[in-house]
Chains A and B, each alone.
Chain A
Amino acid sequence: SWRACSSLRLGHSLFSNGLLRGLHTTQAAHKAQAGRYRVTRNRSKPLTYEMANQPCQIAHRKSWNSWNTTSLYEGLREPETVVDDIFIRKFMTGTWHNLFVSEVIIKRQHNMIRIAGIVQRKIAARKMYFLIGYCEELLSYWLKCPVKLELQTVPDKKDVVYKYI
């Protein structure tokens, strides 16, 4: 707990040579820094809604990016699904080079995988159609089930900015 945390500082003080050796005598209680962005001086960093809401806001103001039945009681195939999700995310962000402006959303329904996300309109529609077909085809072969892409396009990445910090 935060009250039970104490740390010793051995060695010289900070001002003499800048070297400090710290020692925790109780359990180390560091501040949470996952999924949190540092405020800039001139409010120039754009954040999407996803980035602006911290992980503690999941199920309050934020929803999950991955929907499946594996984490239910006696749900099967949880680790394989996680690994598949990681692969799908890497594959999508890599294939759609610099085009995704939101997280890749993966929904599993029966034996189908539905991949959703927001994409910029930097490339022509014909190229997008090709990429959609390519992703669906290859992913369905790799993951052994039907894959459907349900993307939304946005003219500029400024359209998904929620706030600036």
Chain B
Amino acid sequence: DIEDKMLKLGGVTPRLYSQVLRLAASCNIHTTLSTFSELKAEENEEFRTLELRSKKFVRQPARVMKSHNVVPPRYKRQKVDQDWGNVWPAARTFHPASVPLPVRQGYPASGQVTPDKWGNAELMKIPNFLHLTPPVIKRQCEALKKFCTPWPSGIETAAEQEKYFPVMVSKSTYLHSSPTLRDQKARIVTLRVSLKSLDLDDHGRDKLLRLVKNRHDPTTDCLTIVADRCPLSQQNYDYCFYLLTVLYNESMKTEPWEHEKEVADRERYIWEGSPSQAALQAIIDSNEDSTPEEVIEEYKKVVIDLHNEGEDEPTLSRYRDSVMKLVGLA
């Protein structure tokens, strides 16, 4: 009999055994039918328990997730003298298992050390230059060398460059991190040329400056033409050169109506035929002693300066000295 057996084993009461079997039943653990039916027969002698509330939720054992076989980190298989350029050929987010360095990043929490590279999002966020180590850069330079030619001889100095290549054309291209390549500012073309290299005479220079207005910089004597009216930079480049050609040709020509230029239109003061010349002549004629040449020349120069460069302290003082000498008071 099971009862006797249980009592013999000692300590296991029928009630406890029935509880265990009931638990076993709820956990779907296999029990022999015979023992269960015997217990049930026994239980029928006692009063059946009335269960008003539903059975308490019996917590199932937590599902254990299969731990997947993980390959050991890559740095363990890397030789000390490996070619790093082959491990990290292009820009890549930091990967702690591939980089054999014990880097740390982050502000340490109180009582902790700086967070290490494993599971460190900060190290992943920042751009790294592991793909541009010095040996790799050297290798890339060596590879590019065959496309390079030496600087042409004969244009080493700036003066020579200005002499042989007086026109400078500049244009910008733009790079954005976006799917589109277009940037409207890339169509702008700037042409710079020094007027010295244009071989213009006085009239030509004056005419060019009138045509060009504020595109000429008097300090550097450079003409700057900016073209952005066409959609393509090639078209703007052609337009720049067209403008330069037209300006030069027009300034070399003399139109029939240019003789109508009046004294007020002159861009600078001309001594010949001016009232100051007539006045000086009158003074010279009225003077008994012949005035020396250099005094006349000096007065002429000073008056020209006064008109062209404006009235300021040095020009006025020079004018005063010159007049004193002319009149004979100095």
Q: Is the CB of B65 within 8 A of A122?
A: yes
One of B65, B107, B124 near A152 (C-beta < 8 A): B124
One of B107, B126, B177, B179 near A109 (C-beta < 8 A): B177
Write the nearest CB–CB distance from A41 to chain B, whole angstroms: 19
Indicate whether A108 sits within 8 Å of B121 (C-beta atoms), given known contacts A53-B107, A124-B68, A155-B70.
Answer: no
Indicate whether A62 sits within 8 Å of B127 (C-beta atoms), given known contacts A144-B179, A163-B112.
Answer: no
Q: Is the CB of B109 within 8 A of A163?
A: yes
State in angstroms the CA–CA spacing of A152 and B122 once bound together. Answer: 12
Write the nearest CB–CB distance from B176 to chain A, whole angstroms: 5
Write the nearest CB–CB distance from B282 to chain A, whole angstroms: 66
State in angstroms the CA–CA spacing of A65 and B93 once bound together. Answer: 12
Listed from nearest, the 8 A-B pairs whose CB atoms lie closest are A108-B177, A150-B93, A116-B93, A63-B125, A102-B121, A145-B179, A163-B109, A160-B119
Q: List 20 A-B contacts (CB under 8 A).
A: A49-B120, A49-B122, A52-B109, A68-B177, A75-B176, A81-B178, A105-B93, A105-B124, A109-B177, A110-B177, A111-B177, A111-B178, A114-B92, A116-B125, A118-B119, A124-B68, A154-B119, A159-B118, A160-B119, A162-B115
Indicate whether A150 sits within 8 Å of B92 (C-beta atoms), given known contacts A70-B178, A111-B178.
Answer: yes
Q: Is the CB of B119 within 8 A of A152?
A: yes
Q: Is the CB of A125 within 8 A of B119?
A: no
Q: Is the CB of A109 within 8 A of B91?
A: yes
- The residues in A between 28 and 81 inclusive whose CB is less than 8 angstroms from any CB of B are 48-50, 52-53, 61-65, 67-70, 74-77, 80-81
Task: Please name the residue on chain A nearest to B65 by beta carbon.
Answer: A122
Q: Is the CB of A154 within 8 A of B118?
A: yes
- Contacts A49-B122, A52-B109 aside, 5 further interface pairs with beta carbons under 8 A come to A69-B177, A107-B127, A108-B177, A125-B68, A154-B118
Say yes or no: is A143 at the interface (Cβ < 8 Å to chain B): yes
Say yes or no: is A121 at the interface (Cβ < 8 Å to chain B): yes
Q: What is the size category of the interface that chain A forms with chain B?
A: 35 or more
Q: Is the CB of A143 within 8 A of B124?
A: no
Say yes or no: is B203 at the interface (Cβ < 8 Å to chain A): no
State in angstroms the CA–CA spacing of A105 and B173 once bound together. Answer: 29
State in angstroms the CA–CA spacing of A134 and B287 once bound together. Answer: 106
Say yes or no: is B204 at the interface (Cβ < 8 Å to chain A): no
Say yes or no: is A136 at the interface (Cβ < 8 Å to chain B): no
Task: Please name the residue on chain A nearest to B124 by beta carbon.
Answer: A116
Say yes or no: is B231 at the interface (Cβ < 8 Å to chain A): no
Contacts of B124 in A (CB 8 A): 102, 105, 116-118, 150, 152
State in angstroms the CA–CA spacing of A124 and B177 once bound together. Answer: 34
Q: How many A-B residue pairs have CB under 8 A?
A: 100
- The residues in A between 106 and 135 inclusive whose CB is less than 8 angstroms from any CB of B are 107-111, 114, 116-118, 121-122, 124-125
Q: Is the CB of B178 within 8 A of A77?
A: yes
Write the nearest CB–CB distance from B69 to chain A, whole angstroms: 8
Say yes or no: is A85 at the interface (Cβ < 8 Å to chain B): no
Q: Is the CB of B176 within 8 A of A76?
A: yes
State in angstroms the CA–CA spacing of A64 and B124 once bound together. Answer: 11
Write the nearest CB–CB distance from A5 to chain B, whole angstroms: 32
Which residue of A64, A105, A122 has the most chain B CB atoms within 10 A of its CB atom?
A105
Contacts of A74 in B (CB 8 A): 185
Say yes or no: is B288 at the interface (Cβ < 8 Å to chain A): no
One of A52, A77, A101, A143 near B176 (C-beta < 8 A): A77
One of B68, B91, B121, B180 near A121 (C-beta < 8 A): B68
Which residue of B96, B178, B180 has the most chain A CB atoms within 10 A of its CB atom?
B178
- The residues in B between 103 and 133 inclusive whose CB is less than 8 angstroms from any CB of A are 106-107, 109, 112, 115, 118-122, 124-127
Say yes or no: is B27 at the interface (Cβ < 8 Å to chain A): no
State in angstroms the CA–CA spacing of A64 and B185 once bound together. Answer: 29
Q: Is the CB of A63 within 8 A of B178?
A: no
